[in-house]
Amino acid sequence: MELAFAHFSSLRISAVTSFRSTYPHQTKTPIKPNCISSENLLKTSNKFPSFGLYRHRTGFKHASKQRNFIWASSQIGAAGSDPLLNKVSAFRDACWRFLRPHTIRGTALGSVALVARALIENPNLIKWSLLLKAFSGLLALICGNGYIVGINQIYDIGIDKVNKPYLPIAAGDLSVQSAWFLVIFFAVTGLLIVAFNFGPFITSLYCLGLFLGTIYSVPPFRMKRFAVAAFLIIATVRGFLLNFGVYYATRAALGLSFEWNAPVAFITAFVTLFALVIAVTKDLPDVEGDRKFKISTLATKLGVKNIAFLGSGLLLLNYVAAILAAIYMPQAFRRSLMIPAHVILASCLLFQTWLLERANYTKEAISGFYQFIWNLFYGEYAIFPFI
């Protein structure tokens, strides 16, 4: 360490000597090479201009400030320094969570599957002009879905703070006023789209769906308090109205009258029972909040384990019925797809139920099980156009 400092001192002294010879008008300071101290060296360096090798301390401070400013500026820039853009991004994220994406996926996938089925049955009637109409119908369904899940969040803030604190209103990321604006916008937009494109019958079905979604959540009705009424509403909206309504509207757009066929009757019955299972199992992760706010559900009455087994049992009946339909109605269904697909889905359900039992019904395991139920729901619609 002493050797290194001595080397630095000798360099500094030679530089000072060279500077004095170049600028003789400067005041000369006697230098003792063998006994110079670090303190005297620093004092002497302050008399020299700040250039080259020997910057004085003020230069070091200024450079340090500049570096800190540049680093801070780069950090702010990386994080996004525009407050307006940050607010827009945060609002967009809150709106997306407000829509409950997993329900939108179910609605979108179901409508696409039913439209695809109607087109596969009548390939000679397909026109490009129908694409815009189909897209507008999908947008109307998403608006209706957004209204129903949104109005439920507005009236469930206290419960959601316990059960679903990540939802935007409960988390404080979306104000109640903004939520009201969104649900009114969804309802009005959806109704206008349907009324101008799909006629009075489909419009009346759409209004029925909005009405059922309203009385499910809004006082004084608040039908979600009553287990049977809640199940029937969910099964009707997501089971019958969605499947029948979309298929009917698609055939009407193709210029055809509505008629039931085996695959459409199958998916309507299958999804209606499936919606009943979703209505039962959706309360599994919410037992704590439902008990706190005196919301009566089968999960609070019968316990999480019993409801999980009930939901799994109902779904297994669904899969067994699908397999039997393929066996006894080979003219209506493709056995080569219908049977193995439902055997696989049923096996996955049994495995997931076993995992839930093994996890001892923790809240994380229950949430995973409920999400898996939705994945099975998506899977059924994914194979439906081809059965």
Specify whether 328 is located in the same domain as 353. yes
Specify whether 233 is located in the same domain as 333. no
Domain termination site, one of 197, 230, 259: 259
For residue 313, the domain's CATH number is 1.20.120
For residue 1, pLDDT over 60 is answered with no
User: What is the pLDDT of the chain when averaged over all its residues?
Assistant: 81
The average pLDDT across 363-374 equals 92
Q: How far apart are CA 341 and CA 354, in angstroms?
A: 20
**Per-residue pLDDT tens digits for 204-230:** 999 999 999 999 999 999 998 887 898
Specify whether 230 is located in the same domain as 133. yes
In a domain, 22, yes or no: no
**Per-residue pLDDT tens digits for 31-78:** 444 444 444 444 444 444 443 333 344 444 444 444 444 444 444 444
C-alpha separations of 162 from 165, 218, 272, 286 in Å: 6, 19, 29, 8
Specify whether 329 is located in the same domain as 363. yes
Three-state DSSP state, 344: helix
In a domain, 376, yes or no: yes
The structure's pTM equals: 0.72
- Domain of residue 310: give its range: 263-386
128 pLDDT tier (thresholds 50, 70, 90): confident
Q: Match 């979703």 to its residue by tokens.
A: 278
Domain termination site, one of 204, 239, 259: 259
In a domain, 59, yes or no: no
Residue 284: what pLDDT?
Answer: 84
The average pLDDT across 301-309 equals 88
For residue 164, the domain's CATH number is 1.10.357.140
In a domain, 65, yes or no: no
Residue 81: what pLDDT?
Answer: 61
The average pLDDT across 112-123 equals 91
Cα 343 to chain center, whole Å?
A: 30
The average pLDDT across 186-199 equals 95
Specify whether 295 is located in the same domain as 358. yes
Residue 159: what pLDDT?
Answer: 87
Specify whether 320 is located in the same domain as 339. yes
In a domain, 21, yes or no: no
In a domain, 353, yes or no: yes
**Per-residue pLDDT tens digits for 235-274:** 999 989 999 999 999 998 888 888 888 999 999 999 999 9
Q: How far apart are CA 332 and CA 107, in angstroms?
A: 25
Residue 3: what pLDDT?
Answer: 41
Specify whether 373 is located in the same domain as 238. no
Residue 194: what pLDDT?
Answer: 95
**Total of domains in the chain:** 2
374 pLDDT tier (thresholds 50, 70, 90): very high
Residue 375, Cβ neighbours under 10 Å: how many? 13
The average pLDDT across 113-140 equals 88
More confident residue, 214 or 130: 214
Residue 260: what pLDDT?
Answer: 87
> What is the full DSSP assignment across 50-72?
SBTTB--HHHHHHHHHHHHHHHH
Domain termination site, one of 206, 229, 259: 259
Residue 132: what pLDDT?
Answer: 86
What secondary structure letter does DSSP report for 333?
Answer: S
For residue 23, pLDDT over 60 is answered with no
Specify whether 188 is located in the same domain as 274. no
The answer to whether the beta carbons of residues 104 and 142 sit under 8 Å apart is: yes
Residue 67: what pLDDT?
Answer: 46
Name the percent of the chain lying above pLDDT 70.
79
In a domain, 196, yes or no: yes
The answer to whether the beta carbons of residues 245 and 202 sit under 8 Å apart is: yes
The answer to whether the beta carbons of residues 151 and 180 sit under 8 Å apart is: no
Specify whether 107 is located in the same domain as 252. yes
Specify whether 141 is located in the same domain as 236. yes
Residue burial 45-69, b: 16+ Cβ < 10 Å; e: rest: beebeeeeebbeeeeeeeeeeeeee
Specify whether 226 is located in the same domain as 348. no
Specify whether 251 is located in the same domain as 329. no
The average pLDDT across 293-315 equals 85
In a domain, 31, yes or no: no
Cα 162 to chain center, whole Å?
A: 19
Residue 145: what pLDDT?
Answer: 96
**Per-residue pLDDT tens digits for 161-180:** 888 899 999 999 999 999 99
Closest to 141 in 3D by CA, of 201, 97, 202 = 202
Q: Match 């935007």 to its residue by tokens.
A: 168
Q: Position 356: which residue type? A: L
Burial bucket for residue 336 (CB in 10 Å: 0-12, 13-18, 19+): exposed
